[in-house]
Structure 1
Amino acid sequence: MFGDIEGAGFEVLDERFERRFVGHAAVERLWTGGRWLEGPAWFAAGRYLVFSDIPNDRIMRYDDTNGVVSIFRAPSNNANGNTVDTQGRLVTCEHRARRVTRTEHDGSITVIADRFEGKRLNSPNDVVVRSDGTIWFSDPSYGIATDYEGDRAEQEIEGCHVYRTDPTTGEVVCVVSIMAKPNGLAFSADETMLYVGDTGVTHEKDGPRHIRKFAVEGSSLRELGVFATCTAGLFDGFRVDTAGRVWAGAGDGVHCFDPDGTLIGKIRIPETVANLTFGGPKRNRLFITARQSLYAVFVVANAAAQS
């Protein structure tokens, strides 16, 4: 184990992971003071990161040039997942409003999706944007299950699914309907694969706690089975690097998987990890949102796509 913060550092499970970090690189705690942090998204042009503090109903902003953390938006409709679209605009999943929105360059907010077949979405959770501009998001029921991360409400849609929406036409299409609680999602570098996490064990004793892999075939998906199963808590958010490795948030930190599905190492974090993204000028710094704190660490890997 390598690291300076008590309980944090690199844990090598396979020699392939030894090449993924520099020996003197340390896990840094950048900020603490949240209740449940989520949705990190990196804005390269401004060298800043935004992330959600869901129960506190705010989106935070970390300035990489001076280390200052400030409130980006409050209230935020209990925002959860965030990403950046192909034009550098913020795309956000809002639990309370049960919608996906885009923040325009002038600060105005555009609703991307809030219904499917006339029924309100559950509570959009995580979101990614493909290079063609389409927006893909998961829609479990966590934001309407209690009043802690949104407003308690009944589901209008049967089940929890993954959707694709075209921001030009507004069409919302269900692309995955076989999962209990779809959560994190990320494309491979060439966008031929989509990885989707299922955290169904939160509502079913023996429910899923894994990541599934799907082949992208045009505007639809073909299921390829389970890519990896979590051995410590749950997989929440995750990202894929340029070599196809999957970096996933879990109960004891960040789990790193080789493209063949082998768990090769962990970045231990002393709080449950919710999500992560690559950032920094070289896209080789992992920003990690844990329960109450924001962490960062440099790795020998680079982001496959947008935050």
Structure 2
Amino acid sequence: MTAPLYDARDPRFRALIHPNARLHQIGSGFEWAEGPVWFPAAQMLLFSDIPAHRMMRWTAQTGCSIFRENSDYSNGNSRDPEGRLITCHHGTRRVTRTEADGRLSNLASHHAGKRLNSPNDLVAKSDGSIWFTDPTYGILSDLEGYRADPEQAGSFVYRIPPEGGEPQPVITNFTQPNGLCFSPDERLLYVAESGSSHDASVPSVIRVFDVTADGAISGQGRDFARIDAGLPDGIRCDERGNLWSSAADGIHIFAPDGTLLGKILVPEVVSNLCFGGERGNRLFITATTSLYILAVNASAAGWP
């Protein structure tokens, strides 16, 4: 008997999925797949295989291949407003931008004269600012980076100004901030709390923060949704403002009001996801050792 693909919890869920669609495994054999990002101009997906110290490429024509060896234990990837690759690295504990000639430009590595923990995931705002999370996962062991003592006072969310410069902490009340994304109008910032990975007392929640017109965080944030299977890692908003979150049993989809609409069930623990494909309506899923693709009735906020 074929395992179910969907777990509907709300009538609104049906509008987001295709009941007859199938989940396809399009890559496998990875150590821990993470950080998918789609490049429309090249019709290409890039993602990280963190412990393997490499970045991978997928296209419909060529399948999976190595994009970058010796990736400094890259994790989260995204695009800036000019379409350039921006990446978090655990090994060098920095955020970089890949230039047109392939050169890596350093965007952030220190705050207040001390090294960052291990930048994890990131997102660019339309004004050119870059926001990233900085938990300690990459320095807890030698598996996904290099074991070291943290130099920062905590695990924060940082903002790099549009003009560049030293990153500034904008959210400081997380145990381990992880995935993050903006609402379609960029007035809300969602951040995943994954501290339960090492401390069961930390709630597996996604929190939401108000963002002012000048790019500042207003208030201390509030709980938006709770993940009932594992913990939230990578998250994305679609064009309707629904939030799609990774979880231990697949993808959990929440309405803008925080209601769980339903789940897409995946046979491996999901780390991250992104929208892509020729029309933007394919969901790419990085899940432990594999890369999956699924046709959905949604696309990314701000697509393309």
Which residue pairs with 2:174 in the alignment? 179
Q: Does 1:169 align with 2:170?
A: no
Moved more, 215-224 or 184-193: 215-224
The one of 101, 108, 114 aligned to 2:109: 114
Return the match for 2:124 from 99, 122, 129.
129
Question: What code does the residue aligned with 1:148 have?
Answer: L
**Which residue of structure 1 aligns with residue 54 of structure 2?**
58
Alignment of 1:219 onto 2:211 = no
Name the % identity: 48
Q: Is residue 258 of structure 2 the alignment partner of residue 261 of structure 1?
A: yes
Farther-moved stretch of structure 1 (265-274 vs 159-168): 159-168
Q: Aligned partners of 1:55, 1:7: CA distance in 2, in Å? A: 30
Q: CA deviation at 1:159?
A: 0.9
What CA distance in whole angstroms lies between the structure 1 residues aligned with 2:200 and 2:263?
26
Partner of 2:7: 11
Aligned-partner SS, 1:16: helix
Q: 2:225 corresponds to which residue?
A: 228
SS in 2 for 1:282: coil
Give the SS at the match of 2:292.
strand
Q: TM-score normalized by structure 2?
A: 0.97
8 Å Cα contact 1:7/1:270 also seen in 2: no
User: Counterpart in 1 of 2:22?
Assistant: 26
Aligned CA distance change for structure 1 residues 14 and 96 (closer, same or farther; 3 Å): same
Q: Does the 8 A contact of 2:107 with 2:164 survive in 1?
A: no
Query: Could you list the runs of 4 or more consecutive aligned residues of structure 1 that deviate by over 6 angstroms after TM superposition?
Result: none
Q: TM-score normalized by structure 1?
A: 0.96
Q: Structure 1 residues 7, 102: CA separation in 2 closer, same or farther (over 3 Å shift)?
A: farther
Q: Distance in 1 between matches of 2:131 and 2:74?
A: 16
Match of 1:239 among 236, 241, 253: 236
- How far apart, CA to CA, are the structure 2 residues paired with 1:164 and 1:79? 19
Equivalent of 2:282, from 265, 282, 285? 285
Do the aligned residues in 2 keep the contact of 1:8 with 1:269 (CA within 8 Å)?
no
Corresponding position: 1:202 with 2:197: yes
Q: 2 CA distance for matches of 1:140 and 1:171?
A: 18
Aligned twin of 1:295: 292
Aligned pairs, number: 302
Q: Cα RMSD between the aligned structures?
A: 1.3
Distance in 2 (CA, whole Å) between partners of 1:189 and 1:283 is: 15
Amino acid at match of 2:80: D
Deviations 1:15-40 (A, max 9, x none): 11011112221111111010111000
